[in-house]
Amino acid sequence: MKLFLIAIFLISFSKTYACSCITLPFDQHYQQSDFIAVAKITYIDSSLHEQDQRDIEIEIITLYKGIAVTKLKIDNYLKSMCGVYTPLNSTWLIFANKNKEGTLSFDYCSRSVQLDPIGNPYFDAQSKSRFDASISRMLKVLDFLKNYQYTFVSETNIMVSEKSRRDSSLNELEEPAYNFAAYELSFEPGQTVHQIQTLKSFQNKLLTETIKEHLQTAKVHSYPKNTQADSAHKLLILFFFYAKEDDYPSFVSRYFL
């Protein structure tokens, strides 16, 4: 698994050497996305080769977040290293955001991914199997979050600092591989955590409660630093469990790997 992740990183690096992407914890990325869906590309405006963005039309297969739409914009891969190539009739998991005009669009950094890549020289049978398994896990997480898509609205940019990733005792706990836990964290305008609710537990109760204890002492930061939430907020916090593999210990992370 670790070698597979390294391979994916190298593949991504070849694409992004001139496209700077910031990888966010999955919960933060989910809350900042305005539209998430699995969809089929049904139309691509081929007349916009000289434009920074191109118009596409989609047929939604599964909507995970946002309002159903049929039209979006994509960054033009002919004009930008962060552009995306969306073959006609291909199927995608799309993470899109609204621009200032309210138009949904996505680019390479959005984490949108083609679900049926064809002819990729890096995808042998084993890599394809792992890719499919990873996508299946992500879709299960998104399916769970459908019930909470209107609960967590990120009006300000919020960062949560907690110490679970530095707690080596968590590496000794057992849990089914790739399981995840979800928490609802409530805080006041002064960034004071005052309530934590467990939305989904790990099977290991000690693991669930230990992380919850860490969240009770978490620090909530808004950025830029001079901004502050003007009302009580609820944040979604997700933790993923990765089992021990070879010489690598098990660990928990807010990042989906």
Give just the sign of the alpha carbon dihedral 98, 225, 149, 241.
positive
Q: How confident is the model at residue 93 (pLDDT cuts 50, 70, 90)?
A: very high
Confirm if 194 and 188 have CB atoms less than 8 A apart. Answer: yes
Is 188 within the bounds of a domain? yes
At residue 14, the pLDDT reads 40
Q: What is the pLDDT of residues 184-200, one digit of tens each?
A: 988 765 566 778 999 99
Confirm if 56 and 46 have CB atoms less than 8 A apart. Answer: no
For residue 48, what are the domain limits?
35-116
Q: What is the pLDDT of residues 61-76, one digit of tens each?
A: 999 999 999 999 998 8
- Give yes or no: residues 185 and 219 share one domain: yes
At residue 228, the pLDDT reads 57
User: How many domains does one find in the chain?
Assistant: 2
Distance CA 242, CA 249 (A): 9
Domain boundary (93, 116, 139) is at 116
- Give yes or no: residues 13 and 52 share one domain: no
Question: Regarding beta strands 113-114 and 104-106, do their DSSP bridges make them parallel or antiparallel, or are they unpaired?
Answer: unpaired
Task: Give Cα separations from 117 to 1, 89, 122, 127, 243 (angstroms).
Answer: 20, 11, 11, 12, 28
**Which range, 91-105, 115-129, 237-251, has the best average confidence (pLDDT)?**
91-105
- Give yes or no: residues 87 and 158 share one domain: no
Domain boundary (73, 90, 116) is at 116
- Give yes or no: residues 17 and 79 share one domain: no
Q: Which amino acid would we find at residue 99? A: N
Angle between helix axes 2-16 and 125-145 (nearest 10 degrees) is 90
Is 135 within the bounds of a domain? no
- Give yes or no: residues 42 and 28 share one domain: no
What pTM was computed for the model? 0.83
- Give yes or no: residues 238 and 227 share one domain: yes
Q: What is the pLDDT of residues 143-198, one digit of tens each?
A: 999 988 877 765 556 667 666 666 777 777 788 878 999 999 887 655 667 789 99
Average pLDDT over the chain reads 81
- Give yes or no: residues 1 and 50 share one domain: no
- Give yes or no: residues 157 and 239 share one domain: yes
Is 136 within the bounds of a domain? no
DSSP class per residue in 56-114: EEEEEEEEEES---SEEEEEBTTT-TT-B---TT-EEEEEEEE-TTS-EEE-GGGT-EE
For the chain, count helices (H), then strands (E): 4, 12
Is 143 within the bounds of a domain? no
Domain boundary (64, 95, 116) is at 116
Higher-confidence residue of 256 and 6: namely: 256
Residues 6+ away with beta carbon under 8 Å from 167: 210, 214
- Give yes or no: residues 22 and 100 share one domain: no
- Give yes or no: residues 257 and 159 share one domain: yes
At residue 120, the pLDDT reads 63
